[in-house]
Amino acid sequence: MMVYSGYRFCQQASQMGKPIAALNLGKTRADPLLDLKVEAAIGTSLQELLRLSSR
């Protein structure tokens, strides 16, 4: 979301009252708009979510 086009999606969602979540390492422009931010590596995070969902 450091690029403006990604940030605009978050701005629009925020204006519509939609919750916004991000899985990202480090800072983004949209951080102030986020309802949930998980700072973790995406590869290992998605593997863990898949593992948990297959239970």
pLDDT greater at residue 22 or residue 4? 22
- Amino acid 6: pLDDT: 87
Q: How many domains does the chain have?
A: 1
Q: Which residue has the higher pLDDT, 55 or 38?
A: 38
Structure-block tokens of residue 23: 């899985």
Is the pTM higher than 0.85? The answer reads: no
Answer for the pair 54, 41: CB distance below 8 angstroms, yes or no: no
pLDDT band at 4 (very low <50, low <70, confident <90, very high): confident
Q: How confident is the model over 38-53, as pLDDT tens digits?
A: 999 999 999 998 999 9
Q: What is the length of the chain?
A: 55
d(CA 32, CA 9) in angstroms, rounded, equals 14
The pLDDT assigned to 1 comes to 64
Which single residue is written with the structure tokens 């590869």? 43
Which residue range forms the structural domain that includes residue 19? Answer: 4-53
